[in-house]
Amino acid sequence: MNRKSGFTLVEIMIVVAIIGLLAAIAIPSFVKARNTSQQNACINNLRIIDDGKQQWAFVARKAAGAAVVDASINEYIKGGTYPICPGGGTYTYFNVGSAPCCSVTTPTSHTFVGSSGGND
C-alpha cells in the first residue's frame, strides 16, 4: 500500500476555526488596551499642561482667570513644545485656574480634573 501522509480537510478546518476563535477573542481586547493607553497618555499630557500653566502663573504673577498664551506655557513643559494627543485631538489650555481639556470625544473622552477642580 502506498499511503501519503498529510492533514485531512477536516483537520485543517478545525485548526482554522480555532485560530479564528482566538482572534475574535483577542482583537477587541487589543483595541480596548490601545484606547485605554491613548486615554492615559492624553490625561498625563493634560496634567503636564496644567502643571506648566501653574508654574507660568506663579512666575508671571497671574491671578486666577488670567488669560494664557500657549507658547508661554510651553516654555514650562519639558522640551518646550506643544504636547501632541495620541488620540489625534488638540489641547485647549483655558485661563489660569481652569483645567485644560482635549478635543477627543470618541471612543472615550480624555478628561482631566486639574488642581482647580474642573473646567470652567
User: Does the pTM exceed 0.75?
Assistant: no
DSSP letter (8 states) at residue 64? T
Asked if 109 and 40 touch (Cβ cutoff 8 Å), the reply is no
Q: DSSP states of 26-45 as a string?
A: HHHHHHHHHHHHHHHHHHHH
Q: Where are the domains of the chain?
A: 10-102
Each residue's pLDDT tens digit, 38-83 = 889 999 999 999 999 999 999 999 998 899 888 889 899 888 888 8
% residues pLDDT > 90 (the chain):
45
